[in-house]
């Protein structure tokens, strides 16, 4: 069962006890999707410091995230890249099909130079790393809720330089989202059979993705793929 927190109360899914504020104060409804309960709690406390009226929903898995979005209307979703069941990028794609206008802010342990471009290209409204200071997270949430986008100043500068100089993108940016996910799983040492089971694909399909990854990256075998994924910090 999903749970919601409003005005310090933990409430069952579907029942929202709204705090008493001025009618002119807009109420924000934010869904926190992360598989670590302690982190979700800290995240809610940090965001609540920036808003006087906010209601939170929680989801610990990909399935719970999608169910929450189907069942409730949200002002935004804060989503982790690494979620049980599906990757954050896959969840993002499904969320956009369910609610095309729903803004999604990625909050991830993974460095932004590896994931932010792909996340933004896939429709995310912003990307923040879990190493960010609370003030940066609050600013990211404010911008996204206001209808804008957010990336760190450092990433914005790199993107600007890339545009001005015509710098080539990293090789992994040439991969599709599914190929990128398979590369990451191979980088963690998973076998083709394990990946097929986790992604609900056939072994033949995963092998095809592996072959495409090798062709696009110019690498020769799985061992080189693992070394590449580790060197470029695509795996934990």
Q: Looking at the chain, how many residues does it have?
A: 236
Residue with tokens 């932010």: 116
Of the listed ranges 12-16, 73-77, 91-95, 145-149, the least confidently predicted one is 12-16
- For residue 160, the model assigns a pLDDT of 61
Describe the strand order of the beta sheet including 3-6 as a list of residue ranges: 9-12, 3-6, 54-59, 28-33, 76-79, 104-108, 126-129
Average predicted confidence (pLDDT) for the chain: 82
pLDDT over threshold 80, residue 163: no
**Closest to 135 in 3D by CA, of 46, 38, 45, 48:** 46
User: pTM surpassing 0.75?
Assistant: no
pLDDT over threshold 80, residue 23: no
Residue 110 confidence class, pLDDT cut points 50, 70, 90? confident
- For residue 8, the model assigns a pLDDT of 39
């Amino acid at each position: 069962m999903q749970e919601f927190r409003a005005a310090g109360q933990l409430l069952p899914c579907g029942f929202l006890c709204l705090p008493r504020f001025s009618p002119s104060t807009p109420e924000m409804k934010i869904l926190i999707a992360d598989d670590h309960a302690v982190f979700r709690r800290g995240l809610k406390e940090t965001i609540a410091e920036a808003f006087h009226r906010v209601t939170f929903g929680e989801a610990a898995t990909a399935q719970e995230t999608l169910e929450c979005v189907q069942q409730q209307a949200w002002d935004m979703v804060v989503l982790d890249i690494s979620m049980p069941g599906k990757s954050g990028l896959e969840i993002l794609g499904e969320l956009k099909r369910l609610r095309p206008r729903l803004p999604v802010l990625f909050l991830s342990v993974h460095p932004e130079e590896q994931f932010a471009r792909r996340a933004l290209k896939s429709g995310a409204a912003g990307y923040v790393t879990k190493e960010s200071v609370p003030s940066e997270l609050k600013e990211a949430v404010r911008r996204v809720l206001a209808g804008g986008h957010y990336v760190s100043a450092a990433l914005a500068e790199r993107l600007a330089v890339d545009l001005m100089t015509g710098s080539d993108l990293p090789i992994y940016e040439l991969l599709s989202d599914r190929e990128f996910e398979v590369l990451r799983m191979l980088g963690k040492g998973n076998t083709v059979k394990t990946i097929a089971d986790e992604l609900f694909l056939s072994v033949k399909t995963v092998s095809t993705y592996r072959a495409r990854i090798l062709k696009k990256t110019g690498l020769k075998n799985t061992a080189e793929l693992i070394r590449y994924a580790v060197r470029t910090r695509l795996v934990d």
